[in-house]
């Protein structure tokens, strides 16, 4: 059976859309199972830059709005990297027209609208939405996950996941708060490791450093969450805008037979060591050199550029083969439920918030 090439459109070509555009361009040079047929972006200079970046062969068409793309009938899959406030309306237009969608996290900006949107997808568009939670496609984390599956550290009882920017957000950035903006990745990662949902969360937010010279309004520059699970599992998440030495992403897992560390801090984010110390199965380590990112790109690209590319490849393979995505609206909703409870905990000054 000859498989159809995926006809892909990029919708939204700002900061994140620009990263997808680069990955589309490089993937298109190497494979022929998809073609990028269109870029949709209201800002003409961003649109032109993305058209150049995605071009692997024939230049894609460009549109200023999603309806024009739909009317053209030239695409059947889309990456949606528009501002969070537009995720629901843009995605529903595309889904209603038969598209499969890779939607950037989060679903929407609130738990209530996330619930509504996820239910609509469940009911009418099940299997047609993938969510951009790229850690699940990150080679060092996948390697560590394999070590856990092999039983090298026994039963995991504690997980720690940290994400720290080296400074305040860039001018003009609109943050939905440090938890929604940063911790969604860590929460999703912890749910992915554990395969379980916590019964309670506690959280604290602080303003320690960047808040006082940031060009952007944000609730906190530092926050810590603790997730409590049944059957003796605990997870701690730490996010901040204050790691002046450089972008820091670290995960540690403690098990009954040893421990694993992913990403001891190094100033170059493309260098990631995974170290596994095991009392039963020997200790192993592996150093990853991730894809370098272009100059002037956001600092998270050095650490996660390869993951974004793998995520895109996974989306396109699933579209081509008509199979379900490995991360969908329900994963994004679960993460948002935890973040919403964490936010309530901070606002109300309670010790913890129940999630049951
Ligand atoms: N996965 C990640 O690690 C990650 C990182 C950064 C941002 N994001 C997510 O990506 C999304 C975009 O964030 P950003 O930082 O790129 O924002 P941005 O403002 O830089 O880019 C959004 C772009 O969408 C365009 N746009 C607005 N409405 C549109 C519409 N109806 N159709 C087409 N284009 C439209 C804007 O003109 C803009 O260029 C957000 O939801 C954000 O949460 C994810």
**pLDDT class for 175, splitting at 50, 70, 90?**
confident
In a domain, 127, yes or no: no
In a domain, 43, yes or no: yes
**pLDDT class for 295, splitting at 50, 70, 90?**
confident
**pLDDT class for 297, splitting at 50, 70, 90?**
confident
Q: Express as a percent the part of the chain with pLDDT over 70.
A: 98
Number of structural domains (the chain) is 2
Lowest pLDDT segment from 6-15, 115-124, 193-202, 277-286: 277-286
Looking at beta carbons, which pairs linking 217-223 to residues 24 or more positions away fall under 8 Å? 217/175, 218/169, 218/175, 218/177, 218/178, 218/181, 219/177, 219/178, 220/177, 220/178, 221/168, 221/178, 222/178, 223/178, 223/179, 223/183, 223/342, 223/346
pLDDT digits (tens, 9 = 90+) for 132-164: 999 999 999 999 999 999 999 999 999 999 999
**Any idea which residue has 């230049």 for tokens?**
59
Question: What is the 8-class DSSP label of residue 5?
Answer: P
Q: Clarify whether residues 258 and 153 are in a common domain.
A: yes
Q: Clarify whether residues 150 and 276 are in a common domain.
A: yes
Ligand 1: atom nearest CA of 40 is 33
In a domain, 15, yes or no: yes
**pLDDT class for 2, splitting at 50, 70, 90?**
low
pLDDT digits (tens, 9 = 90+) for 221-239: 999 999 999 999 999 999 9
pLDDT digits (tens, 9 = 90+) for 76-129: 999 999 999 999 999 999 999 999 999 999 999 899 999 999 999 999 999 999
Q: Clarify whether residues 94 and 151 are in a common domain.
A: no
Ligand 1: atom nearest CA of 132 is 1
When pLDDT is averaged across residues 256-265 and rounded to a whole number, the result is 96
List the CATH number of the domain containing 179: 3.30.360.10
Q: First CA to last CA across the chain, in angstroms?
A: 48
Q: Clarify whether residues 10 and 155 are in a common domain.
A: no
Q: Clarify whether residues 161 and 265 are in a common domain.
A: yes
Residue 171 CB neighbour total at 10 angstroms = 8
Ligand 1 site residues, Cβ closer than 6 angstroms: 11-17, 40-43, 46, 66, 81-84, 86, 90, 104-105, 132, 134
pLDDT score recorded for residue 58: 73
Q: Clarify whether residues 39 and 100 are in a common domain.
A: yes
CA of 86 from ligand 1 middle (Å) equals 9
In a domain, 243, yes or no: yes
Tell me the residue range of the domain where 18 lies: 6-104+312-326
Arithmetic mean of pLDDT over the chain: 95
In a domain, 299, yes or no: no
Q: Clarify whether residues 232 and 345 are in a common domain.
A: yes
Q: Clarify whether residues 211 and 277 are in a common domain.
A: yes
Q: Clarify whether residues 147 and 72 are in a common domain.
A: no
In a domain, 281, yes or no: yes
In a domain, 221, yes or no: yes
CA of 245 from ligand 1 middle (Å) equals 27
CA of 80 from ligand 1 middle (Å) equals 8
Q: Clarify whether residues 256 and 273 are in a common domain.
A: yes
pLDDT: which is higher, 198 or 176? 198
CA of 256 from ligand 1 middle (Å) equals 42
List the CATH number of the domain containing 100: 3.40.50.720
Q: Clarify whether residues 165 and 242 are in a common domain.
A: yes
Residue 59 has pLDDT above 90, yes or no: no
**pLDDT class for 57, splitting at 50, 70, 90?**
low
In a domain, 303, yes or no: no
Q: Clarify whether residues 231 and 348 are in a common domain.
A: yes
Residue 1 has pLDDT above 80, yes or no: no
pLDDT score recorded for residue 148: 96
């Amino acid at each position: 059976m000859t498989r159809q090439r995926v006809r892909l459109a990029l919708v939204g070509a700002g900061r994140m859309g620009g990263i997808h555009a680069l990955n589309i361009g490089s993937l298109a040079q190497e494979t022929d199972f998809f073609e990028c047929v269109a870029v949709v972006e209201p800002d003409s200079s961003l649109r032109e830059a993305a058209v150049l970046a995605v071009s692997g062969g024939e230049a894609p068409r460009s549109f200023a709005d999603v309806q024009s793309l739909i009317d053209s009938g030239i695409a059947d899959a889309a990456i949606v990297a528009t501002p969070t406030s537009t995720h629901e309306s843009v995605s529903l237009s595309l889904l209603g027209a038969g598209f499969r969608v890779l939607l950037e996290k989060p679903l929407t900006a609130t738990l209530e609208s996330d619930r509504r949107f996820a239910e609509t997808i469940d009911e009418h568009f099940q299997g047609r939405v993938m969510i951009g939670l790229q850690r699940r496609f990150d080679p060092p984390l996948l390697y560590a996950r394999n070590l856990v599956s092999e039983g090298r550290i026994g039963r995991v009882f504690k997980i720690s996941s940290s994400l720290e920017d080296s400074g305040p957000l860039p001018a003009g950035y609109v943050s939905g708060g440090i938890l929604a903006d940063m911790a969604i990745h860590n929460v999703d990662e912890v749910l992915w490791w554990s395969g379980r949902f916590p019964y309670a969360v506690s959280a604290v937010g602080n303003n320690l450093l960047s808040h006082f010279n940031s060009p952007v309004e944000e609730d906190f520059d530092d926050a810590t969450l603790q997730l409590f699970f049944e059957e003796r599992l605990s997870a701690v998440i730490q996010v901040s805008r204050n790691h002046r030495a450089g972008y820091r992403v670290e995960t540690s897992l403690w098990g009954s037979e040893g421990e694993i560390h992913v990403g001891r801090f190094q100033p170059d984010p493309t260098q990631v060591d995974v170290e596994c110390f095991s009392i039963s199965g020997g200790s192993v380590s592996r150093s990853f050199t991730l894809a370098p990112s272009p100059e002037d790109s956001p600092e998270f690209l050095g650490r996660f550029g390869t993951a974004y590319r793998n995520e895109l490849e996974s989306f396109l393979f699933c579209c081509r083969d008509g199979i379900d995505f490995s991360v969908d609206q329900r994963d994004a909703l679960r993460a948002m439920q935890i973040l919403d409870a964490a936010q309530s905990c901070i606002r109300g000054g309670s010790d913890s918030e129940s999630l049951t």
